[in-house]
Amino acid sequence: MLSRVAEACFWVGRYVERAEDVARILDVNYHGVIENTAPEAAPAWWSVVATTGDEEAFRARYPQPTEDNVADFLLLDRSNPNSVVSSATAAREDARGIRDRISSETWEEINRFYHFVTRQTIAVVMLDGPYAFCRSVKNACHLIAGVIDNTMPHDEGWHFLRAGRFLERAGMTARILDSQAALLQRPQSGPDYAATHRWIAVLKSASAYEAQRKLARGTITPMGVVRFLLLNEEFPRSALASIAEVEEALVQVRSLLGLTGPSQALRDTGELVARLRYTDVDEGFLAGLHDFLDGFEAACNRIGDDIAGEYFWGRTPLRRGA
């Protein structure tokens, strides 16, 4: 397999996952903000941008984090490399360059997704609120992922797509958790119902609310949410499950390509999987959650660098804005 083909497959997986994640985060947090009628509600729009890690880029382009500005920045702003429209455009460009390696159904769905999002304007999206648009984005990304899995041979290209998808997902799950890590540092004298609502929003941002209620019964607690989104191997959006998928994809790539000898990408991925499996989420861990998540994201970036160095002729994988 040519290195440019492997790189394009990897990034198609990442971009489609990124578009879905951003749409889901905006949808969940949008409703959380507009339902908060307290005087301090306005600054909460920053939390939506902070979850994607794009505060600096937002400040450079918009004077205030208003409802319309945040929605435009995350959904349709072409100057934001992590917006839905930028991710759809980049996924289509990469897919167009490897049309002979992906199924015609995959190309058709990616192309359809691109044309849908590029024809929208923020005025139309905000007319009824961004819910309908975000739902359409999520459904389109689910359809693309399903078509990829069910119409493409599970060869090296498919495994690179899989590695990109789950590496992106692992990093986003960490950012979702990190967006609320500061809540754990606030002293509490009694039940904080507003904080509980925000932790529920964290679960919903990762499409994990129903799964957490089924697999981890009991009240919603910060420790329970953190443990579930970091360590639950049965939930496909947890950090551990996502990194384990990346590890398995890299194992299969090396097997299919007949590669032997050491692999820094596989070594670093396996080390991160082992670290998560032996992590104990207790009060001490929660106190240092932000630092842990920073380290986790750095480890994900290293894995991306490793994959680029081993398979993409050393090209940098950091196409994202953060």
208 and 226 in a single domain? The answer is: yes
- When pLDDT is cut at 50, 70 and 90, the band that residue 28 belongs to is confident
Number of domains, the chain: 2
Of 136, 152, 168, which one is at a domain's C-terminal end? 152
Identify residue 122 by its one-letter amino acid code: I
- Sequence-separated (6 or more) residues with CB below 8 Å from residue 153: none
24 and 57 in a single domain? The answer is: yes
The pTM of the whole model exceeds 0.95: no
Look-up of token digits 């090209």: 315
Of 152, 173, 195, which one is at a domain's C-terminal end? 152
Of 183, 273, 275, the closest CA to residue 225 belongs to 183
134 and 83 in a single domain? The answer is: yes
pLDDT digits (tens, 9 = 90+) for 121-162: 999 999 988 899 999 999 999 999 999 999 999 999 999 999
For residue 313, the tally of other CB atoms under 10 A from its CB is 12
Measured in degrees and rounded to the nearest 5, phi and psi for residue 260 equal: -125, 175
DSSP letters spanning 179-235: TTGGGGGS--SS--HHHHHHHHHHHHHTT-HHHHHHHS-S---HHHHHHHHHH-TTS
pLDDT digits (tens, 9 = 90+) for 59-93: 999 988 888 999 999 999 999 999 999 999 999 99
221 and 144 in a single domain? The answer is: no
Exposure string for 214-237, b = 16+ CB within 10 A, e = fewer: eebeeebebebbbbbbbbbeebeb
pLDDT digits (tens, 9 = 90+) for 174-207: 999 988 876 665 555 455 556 778 888 899 989 9
Owning domain of residue 288: 155-322
308 and 161 in a single domain? The answer is: yes
Mean pLDDT of 293-306: 96
